[in-house]
A and B are shown apart, each in its own frame.
Chain A
Amino acid sequence: MMGHFYLEPTALVDWAVGRASAAPAPQQAASAGIDRLVHDPSASCAVAEVGLVEVHTSLCKYLMKTEPDFRAYDGPWMDACLEDVMTWLAAGHVQMLPHAPGLFETAMRHVTAATREHGRKFRSWDALHLAHAVWWARSIGSMVTVVTDDSAYATFLGLYPVFGRFVQLQSPSTL
């Protein structure tokens, strides 16, 4: 799977959720896909610091759920997920992107443009991830695939096709 892949938090949360034995099929597929991707030496994978914060937050939300369907998402599950992510980073399977200068200013612009120019919502975290992925693509002079299940990105790229020169989207379950 040659190329550069930005692991957006929803994809990583799908990966984590999919590790539980009783996980829904789409998350299991996402989990297997991301495992393949990060261990593929021809794939260059990256995350951002803000993304890791989001993953922590989402995993904690699963941990807090008390319904029977969520029993598998317990402390050991969360520990194992985070340990794996740290192992990827330590081994260099996934790189942590540096905090891009001007990132927040750029993200604010994306959020505002979507609403004021098109009357559409684009969330701040999504704008930050897009800005990160585009910054990475432009830095290396190569297309970056944003691995995500969040439809907000496709909507935004539909509004501003110029971003398609730098990033493309792929669902983790199709990796």
Chain B
Amino acid sequence: MPMLPPTILLIDDDVAWSETVIDTLASEGYAAEHAATWEDGVELFRVGGHELVIADYDLRDSKNGLRLLVTLKRLRPSTRLVLISGALPVEGQQLAAHAPTVDLFLVKRTTIIDDLKPELESAVERAGRNADWTKVASAYLAQGVDNDQLTRIDQELRDQVDRG
């Protein structure tokens, strides 16, 4: 009987940090994989199986960090999206936490896996069973995004990162 495929996707251009996170996840029994660019992240996500995406806001190649999440959400509304950043001040962190498509915002730090524990456990649980269509349908219906609001928040976050 095959094991579960990777259920967690980390999108972050900090390769060394990402490798540490992936290794730590693996040592704790979580199947995760890494994409270093926006494009790779979307392509890898496309093949399926990811219940949880952890994406860095400040990807070098991404002009619009939140757009990445919108694209992922459109591809699979039921996947949980965690936005991370080590560059946002407290005000920006609060803004990011309430941005459309963001299910959870976390500060990027070495202990992030502890912060992610509930999300990780939930992802593994979802990956091992058939889809809960009540939740899938609810996520589908909730995926509509106010583009003006998204652009406004994204610009504000970008400004805060640039100022920082």
Contacts and interface: CB of A to CB of B under 8 A. Distances in A.
Given A113-B75, A162-B44, A106 B1 contact: no
Contact of B48 (A131, A140, A165): A131
Contacts of B131: 101-102, 104-105
Interface in A20-64: none
Given A109-B75, A135-B5, A139-B4, A101 B48 contact: no
Contact of A106 (B6, B48, B128): B48
B127 A102 contact: yes
A160 B5 contact: no
Contacts of B76: 105-106, 109
14 contacts: A98-B2, A101-B4, A101-B129, A105-B78, A105-B136, A106-B49, A113-B75, A135-B2, A135-B5, A138-B47, A139-B4, A160-B43, A162-B46, A166-B47
Given A98-B1, A138-B6, 20 more contacts: A99-B130, A101-B4, A101-B127, A101-B128, A102-B49, A102-B51, A102-B130, A105-B76, A105-B78, A105-B131, A106-B76, A109-B46, A113-B46, A113-B75, A139-B3, A139-B4, A140-B2, A140-B3, A160-B43, A162-B43
Interface string A86-113: 0000000000011101101110010001
A101 B2 contact: no
Contacts of A99: 130
Contacts of B4: 101, 139
Contacts of A136: 2
Contact of B49 (A138, A140, A163): A138
A134 interface: yes
Most chain-A Cβ atoms within 10 A of its Cβ — which of B2, B3, B43, B131? B2
Contacts of A165: 47
B48 A134 contact: yes
A101 B131 CA distance: 7
Q: Which 6 A-B pairs have the closest CB atoms?
A: A138-B5, A139-B2, A106-B48, A162-B43, A139-B5, A134-B47
Given A109-B75, A136-B2, A102 B44 contact: no
A163 B48 CA distance: 10
B3 A102 contact: no
Most chain-A Cβ atoms within 10 A of its Cβ — which of B1, B5, B48, B78? B48
A2 B126 CA distance: 33
A104 B130 CA distance: 9
Nearest to A137: B5
B48 A102 contact: yes
A113 B45 CA distance: 13
A21 B130 CA distance: 44
Given A98-B2, A136-B2, A138-B6, A160 B48 contact: no
Contact of A163 (B6, B47, B78, B129): B47
Interface in B83-109: none
Contacts of B129: 101
A114 B30 CA distance: 31
B115 to A, nearest CB: 25
A139 B136 CA distance: 23
